[in-house]
Structure 1
Amino acid sequence: MRSAADPRLGGRAAWCAWGIGVTVYVLAVVHRTSLGVAGLDAAARFGIGASALSTFSILQVLVYAGMQIPVGLLVDRLGPRRVLCTGLVLLTLGQLGFAFSTSFTPALVSRAVLGCGDAMTFVSVLRLGARWFPARRNPFIAQLTGLVGTLGNLVSTMVLSQVLHSAGWTATFATTGLLGLAVLALVLLFLRDTPDSAARETLFGREPVTAPAHLAGGDRPSLRAQISAAWEQPGTRLGLWVHFTTAFPASAFLLLWGMPFLMDGQGLSRGLAGSLLSLIIVSNMGFALLVGQLVSRRPGVRVPLVLIVVLGTGALWGVVLCWPGTHVPMWLLLVLTAAMGSNGPASLVGLDFARTVNPPERLGTASGIVNMGGFIATVLALFGIGLVLDLLTPGGGADYTPHAFRLAFCTLYLPMALGLSQILRLRPKAARREAELRALRAAA
């Protein structure tokens, strides 16, 4: 294991490696959120209602969530470079398939392929950060990764939404898909897994200068043992529920239902609705810097910070949903969307709970377990909102009413309540385990 004093950690080469990895992640976020600004266009193109429209995002997110543990295992065993390359190929194929689809089923399959590729990016970038930077900087690097990844959201809300209506469906999605080939070349030519990697690597093999002991074939635990070891840590389970509870309100809003809610439910223009979605992303960047610095310096604030974000988001949604009259005032929408910018940074705090109780050789597996949480909750929210809208507006997207949207968004409180109960249950166990590990390290 490399020393934290290793001069290669955190230097220029480290930032270059992380920069290449996070470029892949930004592109994945562009692909992931592109449907969020094309929801109404997709409903018209494929002739579908709210439940079927939700299926696109639900399947994509389900595939993403289901792939997290396998991807974590792959990253731990093969290294992030190979996994990122595979992810880029799948992202490109999925987005190109979506661009040329003219019916529901091929488009649905394309989104599933895209979700599989998307799943391979974030955990890989986290592993790059863990290998290229000192451990004390990992919480900040994780937040910075999330912050830069939000640029993909900005591209979707500020660029794709405009290009879609000028260039058309096929040209817009095909162009974004082909960007993956350029990024793939960047990864193949310049990315290395660790500072110890040989100067030149190929996709099919590498010759590390010093191979970590845990990578030696005979020393590897079984896949089941590795997953079990990560899951047995209460910090891993707490991290999953933190991610579950904090991430999904903003994710469901940005992935699909934010634009319809603001346009059909609140009567805003497409441009103004897009600006409010962009505010979530800009706010996310500010919160990411704040949370990253705070958690790095004062780990004890993690759970209180998470509770403040969850309860604050829930309270603001309660005010919006109970506001008298047909539409809520613009100042309240501004406050709500700005506050939802805290959801993503708070969800990444869950990764820190897992990092502190898992050794480096299973960090990818533990991160994959945690990263499932928010996407499972997002699936529940997407499905719940779409189901209620369909029950209340059988005519489809053209008939959505403000009242229907208010009732549909009440479903956000179900996963929120479940997640809060689990956080409060696991918090004491995780705190005791962290204290035990600190004592063991001090004694050693």
Structure 2
Amino acid sequence: MNSKRSWFVFGVAALAYIAAVLQRSSLGVSGVSAADRYYTSAAILSTLAVVQLIVYAALQIPNGILIDRVGPKLLIVVGTAVMVVGQLTLAFSTDIGIAVIGRVLVGAGDSAIFISVIRLVNSWFSGRIVPQLSQWMGNLGAIGQILSAVPFAIVLHEAGWSAAFTSAASVALLAFILSLLVLGDRPPSVTAPEQPTLGVVLKRLGPTLRRPGTQLGFWSHFVTQSSGTVFALFWGFPFMVSALGYSTTLASGLLVVIVVVGLVSGPILGLLTARFPTRRSNLVLGIVAMLGVVWTAVLVWPGTPPLWLVVLLVVAMGAGGPGSLIGFDFARTFNPPHTLGSANGVVNVGGFTASFVMLFLIGVILDALHNVGFSASLYDVGAFKLAFAVQYVVIGLGVLFLVRARRRARAQLEEDEGISVAPLWVALSAAWSRKRP
């Protein structure tokens, strides 16, 4: 555990995740080009991202079961191969139907990667470094978003659609080769556990789903990850370029800001999660509150919001990605190791479920407003503001379920381990009283 070989495995796993994020987010800077290539409505265009996320979310629990059954290496190898096929299909498609098939394959391959690399972190490392490495894995994966926002976008606008998506597929191909050659399910010194039958793994899924800690992880991921995913994966680029009038260079740069903020805030959140494990949900709710305040300022601003406010928005969304990884720490601490793959799969469904719901609804609302004559342009800033407001409904419901799951998780913690978690204001008041002379 925590050996040099462990770090080598971590590096290759991070490369696989970087490749997955690149394939996933490559559509984010292609929204305007996709509209020109396929010439269809906003709702139909959004299906390119929606079906990808639906497939991704739908396969999380089956992939988690497979991880517990056959190990993470096989899923990473197969997942990277499927992403290569999906991106090449999209690269040479000229019909929206074929493009959708390509994104389905990308979503299917991508769905196996993150929960598999998180399982590798838990298998190859131990101790308090594990939550920090989980944060680092998420942050390093965000480099894939930088690759899509800068070099991919340059290739797209200079060399064209096919060249850009083929180049993205080549990164997944490299990850496939290295994963096949280097990765292992566990350190050689660790005895492989007896491989459970599929029936046993399926039988374990029910208790995993019913654990309040698993549900708390699901809703934590649901409310923190979705806003930034919707913005970076598809609607942010059309909003900035077509509605706000930004250049493609500036829009790509702002997408990079999301990643940079994640790289900075991720280790901080990892340290806070390890230092204050009973206050992890407060970190989640704090991030959601910050996002709510900044989004409200953008949406109620008369006319076009100023650049500084849009910068604040992408900074706030940058903290949402690392914040969503706290959900996996809930899964880790509330579930036994032999069910961790399934638990991580359940948690990872959360944010992507919220994302594909909002992605699709935003497209539908934009089309509806355009059809009733709300605006002459499909991508009007006023129409975007109304469409983005759907986040309040989706994430608001998620917060209600999160608070309910937290109450049940704390009750279980007190019953099982005798640990009582007081409300934050009570704990802060007690700490202040102890420090007073």
Structure 2 length-normalised TM: 0.92
1:192 equivalent in structure 2: 184
| Greater Cα shift, 96-105 or 138-147 | 138-147
- The answer to whether 1:348 aligns with 2:325 is yes
Give me the whole-angstrom Cα distance separating, in 1, the residues matched to 2:307 and 2:377: 23
8 Å Cα contact 2:59/2:111 also seen in 1: yes
Runs of 4+ residues deviating >4 angstroms: 395-398
In 1, distance between residues paired with 2:57 and 2:127? 26
Q: Structure 1 vs Structure 2: percent identity of aligned residues? A: 40
How far apart, in 2, do the equivalents of 1:155 and 1:397 lie? 34
Counterpart among 223, 243, 254 of residue 276 in structure 1: 254
Partner of 1:250: 228
1:360 aligns with 2:361: no
Q: Is the contact between residue 356 and residue 434 of structure 1 (CA under 8 Å) also seen in structure 2? A: no
1:121-147 residue CA offsets vs partner (Å, 9 max, x unmatched): 000001100000104322111111100
State the partner residue of 1:211.
192
Worse overlay, 400-409 or 54-63 = 400-409
Q: Given the superposition, is the C-alpha separation of residues 47 and 397 from structure 1 closer, same or farther in structure 2, using an over 3 Å criterion?
A: farther
Q: Distance in 2 between matches of 1:117 and 1:439?
A: 42
Structure 1 SS opposite 2:191:
coil
Secondary structure, aligned partner of 1:393 = helix
* Worse-superposed segment, 294-303 or 376-385: 294-303
Residue 399 of structure 2 corresponds to residue 407 of structure 1:
no
Contact 2:69 2:196 in 1 (8 A): no
By how many angstroms is 1:167 displaced? 1.0
Q: Does 1:47 align with 2:2?
A: no
Indicate if the aligned counterparts of 1:50 and 1:397 stay in contact, CA closer than 8 A. Answer: no
The aligned residue for residue 282 of structure 2 is 304
Structure 2: state its 5+ residue gaps. Answer: 420-437
Between the aligned partners of 1:191 and 1:353, the Cα distance in structure 2 is 26
Q: Is the 8 A contact 2:69 2:201 kept in 1?
A: no
Q: Residue 398 of structure 1: CA displacement?
A: 5.3
Give the corresponding residue for 2:370: 393
Partner amino acid, structure 2, of 1:346: G
Give distance in 1, aligned partners of 2:213 and 2:296.
30
Q: How does 1:87-126 map to 2 (within 5 A)?
A: 87-126=79-118
The reply to whether residue 373 of structure 1 matches residue 350 of structure 2 is: yes
How big is each residue's C-alpha offset from its partner over 1:274-297, in whole Å with a ceiling of 9 and x where there is no partner? 111111111111111110111012
Quote the offset at 1:112 in angstroms. 0.3
- Shift in Å at residue 260 of structure 1? 0.9
Aligned residue runs from structure 1 range 12-31, under 5 A: 12-31=4-23
Give the 3 Å change call, closer, same or farther, for CA 436–356 of structure 1 in structure 2. farther
- Could you tell me how far apart the structure 1 residues matched to 2:93 and 2:152 are? 18
Q: Which residue of 2 aligns with 1:429?
A: 408
Q: Which of 107, 124, 129 is 2:121 aligned to?
A: 129
1:176 to 153, 156, 168: 168
Structure 1 residues not aligned, in runs of 5+: 1-8, 198-208
Q: Aligned partners of 2:325 and 2:18: how far apart in 1? A: 16
Q: Give the partner amino acid of 2:191.
A: T
Rate the CA distance shift 1:397–1:270 in 2: closer, same or farther, 3 A.
Answer: farther
8 Å Cα contact 1:236-1:369 kept in structure 2: yes
1:87 and 1:117 in contact (8 A); partners too: yes
Contact 1:49 1:397 in 2 (8 A): no
Aligned to 2:307: 330
Q: Alpha-carbon deviation of 1:241?
A: 0.7
Partner of 1:162: 154
AA aligned opposite 2:141: G
Residue 73 of structure 2 corresponds to residue 81 of structure 1 = yes
**CA–CA separation in structure 1 for the residues paired with 2:146 and 2:174:** 20
Does 2:292 correspond to 1:314?
yes
Query: 1:10 is paired with a residue of what secondary structure?
Result: coil
Q: Counterparts in 2 of 1:219-230, with a 5 A limit? A: 222-230=200-208
Measure the CA separation in 1 of the matches of 2:156 and 2:415: 54
Alignment length (residue pairs): 417
Whole-Å separation in 1 of the counterparts to 2:392 and 2:127: 36
* Whole-angstrom CA distance in 1 between matches of 2:173 and 2:86: 13
User: Aligned AA for 1:99?
Assistant: A
Q: Secondary structure at the match of 1:193?
A: coil
Aligned letter for 1:34? S
Distance 2:344 2:376 in 1: 37
Task: For residue 438 of structure 1, report the CA deviation from its aligned partner.
Answer: 3.8
**TM-score, structure 1 as length reference:** 0.91
